[in-house]
Homo-oligomer: A and B are copies of this chain.
Amino acid sequence: MLNEMAELKELKGVPHRDFYNVRKVDTHIHAAACMNQKQLLKFIQTTYKTEADRVVLEKGGLKKTLREVFSSLQKDPYDLTGRQTFHRFDKFNSKYNPVGASELREIYLKTDNYIEGEYFARIIKEVARDLEESKYQHAEPRLSIYGRTPKEWDNLARWFIQHKVHSRNLRWIIQVPRIYDIFKSKKIIPSFAKMLENIFLPLFEATVNPQQHKELHVFLKSVTGFDSVDDESKHSNHMFSYKSPKPEEWTAEENPPYSYYLFYMYANIMVLNNLRKERGLSTFQFRPHCGEAGSITHLVSAFLTADNISHGLNLKKSPVLQYLYYLAQVPIAMSPLSNNSLFLEYSKNPLREFLHKGLCVSLSTDDPMQFHYTKEALMEEYAIAAQLWKLSTCDVCEIARNSVLQSGLSHKEKEHFLGVNYLTDGPEGNDIRRTNVAQIRMAFRHETLCNELSLLLDAVKSECPAPTQ
């Protein structure tokens, strides 16, 4: 705070750069809700106008055209209206149903439907085009892999390539819902190991033998990480320990706990990354949803396994964990507007406090379809935070810089957006002409962190004195 005027003065001397043209990444956004509501409704109406007689759905062997779908729903597409009440925790069931009709979700927001995900691809490409036009905004949308069958990856890759969904402003993250219990109860899979196998084996195969899995191999170049998603407040009675059943032994109906999911995803991703690194291929980050609700211990699991996390709200309740996340600079993608709708009043959101303390926080939208009003959802997210918390230009640019740092953008892109030394700590690593973050701020952050670390080091030394010579 004391540096505020000095920072402002420093930033005024920076040519060509302001908050609008620093790079920002929407670090947490779900593909099936990445569009503005109005945009989706318009798209639905357009398809109805131009392709009403196209077969778009097959249900129990019965093929249906768009016109028939709407007539059986007893809805006129021009009667569809905006902001619906969505349910929260059937996230992978009805949450994203436009206007509450699962047929419309099936047709418009799925990659593997009768029309081979064409509509979903088209609307995502609209979103991508807007980002490309904005130039300075990127996003990391989540697509689902469930682990129900081993074919999911090939299908997703085919969708991606067939519809040319690639955009240089998008990097893809695979979200894995923690719903073993549902598949088990429907007898789709025999054990947790089978779910892991369905998720990871195709990746090992494509890594070992890319020529045999061309589409997946190409798709994986655009995939930069894994997310673990579901309602964190779902409680598990199992306590994960070295005595826990191995995945192939986990055949109970009960869902494994959060920590179990995280460990086995982490373990598989690590082995996979080592293999890929060896072969000169891209690797994956692990970026689970964590600390949005439920037990504080989730934050322990993620601290030990994750590259960065989404939400992190519950760090508010644990100063010790908060301090660890600070010391290790574990990035946190926060979404205060989403939290405001679901869990925590905006004014009580800890983002501002975390930022001021020096935690590595970024701003993200989560679900623009549900939470945002304008077509510029990420800017809306920044605008509200800046207005409500009276953030300075340096503050919002620091958040934007954090978002690039923690993102899955390539080393080359990060060099371009943050400066060639971006991996160096402190002001030396910051190119103010690219980030618009004041060097005074960078120096303050660096000093503070170094002080804390040396404090700890001193404490450790006094506990375990160095051997006398």
Contact = CB atoms under 8 A, between A and B. Distances in A.
B387 A346 contact: yes
A187 interface: no
Interface string A77-106: 011011101000000000000000000000
Nearest to A376: B374
Interface string A365-404: 0000001111110011011101110000100000000000
Contacts of A384: 383-384, 387-388
A14 interface: yes
A5 to B, nearest CB: 10
A337 B388 CA distance: 9
Q: Is the interface of A mostly helix, strand, loop or mixed?
A: helix
A114 interface: no
A16 interface: yes
Interface stretch (A17-25, A306-314, A323-331): A17-25
Given A346-B387, A388-B346, A83 B18 contact: yes
A47 interface: no
Residue from A37, A38, A81, A376 whose CB has the most chain B CB atoms within 10 Å: A81
B82 A20 contact: yes
B18 A82 contact: yes
A393 B83 contact: yes
Contacts of A341: 387
Nearest to A384: B384
Interface string A401-421: 000000000000000000000
A453 interface: no
A209 interface: no
A452 interface: no
A465 interface: no
Given A383-B380, A387-B346, A15 B374 contact: no
Contacts of A375: 376
Copies in the complex: 2
A347 interface: yes
A8 interface: yes
A340 interface: yes
A249 interface: no
Contacts of A372: 383
A38 B20 contact: yes
Contacts of A346: 387-388
Contacts of A376: 374-376
A76 interface: yes
A374 B379 CA distance: 6
Given A83-B393, A387-B340, A16 B374 contact: no
A30 B337 CA distance: 29
A82 to B, nearest CB: 4
Max chain B C-beta neighbours (<10 A), residue from A20, A76, A373, A384: A373
Nearest to A42: B20
Contacts of A393: 82-83
Give the one of A16, A20, A85, A382 with max B CB within 10 A: A20
Given A38-B20, A382-B373, A76 B15 contact: yes
B380 A18 contact: no
B383 A16 contact: no
Contacts of A16: 78-79, 81
Contact of A18 (B20, B81, B340): B81
Interface string A6-42: 0010001011111110000000000000000110000
A409 to B, nearest CB: 23
B388 A81 contact: no
A15 B383 contact: no
Nearest to A76: B15
Interface of A: 8, 12, 14-20, 37-38, 76, 78-79, 81-83, 85, 337, 340-341, 346-347, 371-376, 379-380, 382-384, 386-388, 393
* CB-CB nearest 5 A-B residue pairs: A373-B383, A18-B81, A18-B82, A15-B79, A374-B376
